[in-house]
Amino acid sequence: MSPSTRGRRGFVLGVLLLGTSVGLAACGGDDDAATTDAPASAAAQGSFPVDVLSGSLDGGSNVTIEQRPEAIVSLSPTATEMLFAVGAGDQVVAVDDQSDYPADAPITDLSGFQPNVEAILGYSPDLVLTSNEDPDLLSGLESGGVTTLVLPAAQDLEEAYSQVERIGAATGQVDSAADVMSDMRTGIEKAVADAQGSGSLTYFHELDPTLFTATSDTFIGEVYGLFGLTNIADATAAQGDTYPQLSAEYVVQANPDLVFLADSQCCQVTAESLNTRAGWSSIKAVTNGGVHVLDEDIASRWGPRVVEFAETVADAVTGVTDRQ
C-alpha cells in the first residue's frame, strides 16, 4: 500500500472514528508549571515544566511536560507535519506508518489506529503525540512513564492553529510555532483575497468513491466556506454527523458547480471517470470543467499545508469565474 493510500484511508477512519473529541484526564501537574493552550511567558521562552492542553479545545485537560523532550514519537501524520514545521524534527525519533511528510521523517511500522504500546515504548520516548484517545493506549503509556499529548482531528481552523501552538509549547519551539501559525493565517487570507468571485457557487467534496464527504462543520468545510461556497452536504447531514455519506442520486440532483476529488490517489477516481457514473455527466461541475483533483493528504490534514489546500480552492473558484 502506498504512503498516499495509507494517508487517505487513515484520514477517513480518523474523522469517522475520532472526529468527536473526548477530554483526556490530566496526567499530573506542577503548581509552578506554565499553563498553556496559548503559551504563557515561561513557555514562550521554551521553559519547563509546562502544562499543555491535551485533547480538544472544548473538552481537554492539561498534561505536564517536565523538561524539553528529546525522544518524541508521533502517531499522527498531522502532528508529524506540525513537529517538523515548528523546528522540532531533530527531537523526533519515530513516526507512524502514515506519516509520509516530510520526506525525512523517521517513518516506522507503528500504527496510530491500532497502537502497540510495547512497540512504542521500544523507542524509549519521553513524549508521544497521538490523535487517538484510546484509553488502553493512554493508560499503557502512562504506566510506562511516558507523557502523551492528544491532538484529535481538528474541528475547525482555530483548533488547528491551537495544536501548532501547543506543539510549540510542548517541544520548546514556541517562537517558531508562532511564526508557523502566522504564516498559515496569512497564507489562507491571501488565497481568499486572490480568489476572483464565488457568488452562489455550490460544491461537493468527495472523500471516497462511496460518497462520504465533509460538511461545513469541519475544518475542511470551513476552508471552502471562507470562499463563500455552499456545501451540498449540509442539507442532508443529521445533527452531529459531520462526515455523512451521500447518495449518487442526491449529488446529481444537487448539481454542484464544483466537485473536489480527495480520492484520486487512493482509488484512481478522476474527472474523466465521473462521466461513467449514472447521471453524473450532466452535473455542471462535470460539463463545465469544475472537477478538481486534490492531493488527498494535503486536503485531509489540518497542519501547515492547509494553505496549499486553500490555494487550490482559490484557483478552482477563479476558474469558474473565468469560464463564465
Burial class (CB in 10 A: 0-12, 13-18, 19+), 58: exposed
Point out the domain boundary residue: 171, 203, 236: 171
Residue 177 lies in a domain: no
Point out the domain boundary residue: 108, 137, 171: 171
Q: According to the model, what pLDDT value does residue 324 have?
A: 57
Q: According to the model, what pLDDT value does residue 211 have?
A: 97
Residue 179 lies in a domain: no
The predicted model gives 175-196 an average pLDDT of 96
Name residue 259's amino acid. V
Point out the domain boundary residue: 171, 203, 225: 171
Residue 8 contacts residue 266 (beta carbons within 8 Å)? yes
Q: According to the model, what pLDDT value does residue 323 have?
A: 65
To the nearest 10°, the Cα dihedral for 191, 194, 197, 201? Answer: -20
Whether residue 78 is found in the same domain as residue 164: yes
Residue 180 lies in a domain: no
> Has residue 11 got a pLDDT over 50?
no
Residue 307 lies in a domain: yes
DSSP string, 268-297: ---TGGGGGSTTGGGSHHHHTT-EEE--HH
Whether residue 26 is found in the same domain as residue 150: yes
Give 14-17 contacts, CB < 8 A, sequence gap 24+: 14/113, 14/131, 14/153, 15/153, 15/214, 15/218, 15/242, 15/243, 15/300, 16/212, 16/243, 17/113
Residue 28 lies in a domain: yes
Name residue 201's amino acid. L
> Has residue 24 got a pLDDT over 90?
no
CA distance 53 to 35: 8
Name residue 183's amino acid. D
User: What's the order of all strands across the beta sheet hosting 127-130?
Assistant: 92-95, 72-74, 127-130, 147-150
* Phi and psi torsions of 4, nearest 5°: -65, -35
Residue 242: which CATH number?
A: 3.40.50.1980
Across the chain, mean pLDDT equals 87
* Phi and psi torsions of 88, nearest 5°: -100, 15
The predicted model gives 82-98 an average pLDDT of 98
| Per-residue confidence band for 173, with pLDDT thresholds at 50, 70 and 90 | very high
Among 40-54, 103-117, 223-237, 289-303, which is the least confidently predicted range?
Answer: 40-54
Element (H, E) at 134: none
Whether residue 112 is found in the same domain as residue 196: no
How much of the chain, in percent, has pLDDT values that exceed 70?
84
* Phi and psi torsions of 54, nearest 5°: -115, 130
Q: Please tell me what DSSP assigns to residue 245.
A: B
More confident residue, 176 or 28: 176
Q: According to the model, what pLDDT value does residue 6 have?
A: 40
- Supply the Cα-derived Rg of the chain in whole angstroms: 20
Q: According to the model, what pLDDT value does residue 236 have?
A: 86
Whether residue 205 is found in the same domain as residue 162: no
- Count of domains observed in the chain: 2
Give the tens place of pLDDT for each residue, 45-62: 478 999 999 999 998 999
Longest CA span, the chain = 64
Residue 213 contacts residue 184 (beta carbons within 8 Å)? no
**And the C-alpha cell for 131?**
490523535
Residue 183 lies in a domain: no
Whether residue 16 is found in the same domain as residue 131: yes
| Per-residue confidence band for 81, with pLDDT thresholds at 50, 70 and 90 | very high
| Per-residue confidence band for 255, with pLDDT thresholds at 50, 70 and 90 | very high
Taking each helix axis from N to C terminus, what angle separates 306-323 and 174-194, rounded to the nearest 10 degrees? 10
| Per-residue confidence band for 44, with pLDDT thresholds at 50, 70 and 90 | very low
**And the C-alpha cell for 132?**
487517538
Residue 182 lies in a domain: no
Residue 277, domain extent: 190-323
Q: According to the model, what pLDDT value does residue 109 have?
A: 98
The predicted model gives 7-21 an average pLDDT of 40
Whether residue 109 is found in the same domain as residue 206: no
Q: Please tell me what DSSP assigns to residue 242.
A: S
> Has residue 38 got a pLDDT over 70?
no
Q: According to the model, what pLDDT value does residue 143 have?
A: 97
| Per-residue confidence band for 245, with pLDDT thresholds at 50, 70 and 90 | very high
> Has residue 25 got a pLDDT over 80?
no
Q: According to the model, what pLDDT value does residue 320 have?
A: 81
Residue 176 lies in a domain: no
Whether residue 139 is found in the same domain as residue 46: yes
Residue linked to cell 491571501 = 190
The predicted model gives 148-165 an average pLDDT of 96
What is the bridge-based pairing of β-strands 127-130 and 202-206? unpaired
> Has residue 39 got a pLDDT over 90?
no
The predicted model gives 37-45 an average pLDDT of 43
| Per-residue confidence band for 17, with pLDDT thresholds at 50, 70 and 90 | very low
Whole-angstrom distance between the N-terminal and C-terminal Cα of the chain? 41
Other CB atoms within 10 Å distance of the CB of residue 18:
20
> Has residue 35 got a pLDDT over 50?
no
> Has residue 26 got a pLDDT over 70?
no
Q: Please tell me what DSSP assigns to residue 167.
A: H
Q: Please tell me what DSSP assigns to residue 148.
A: E
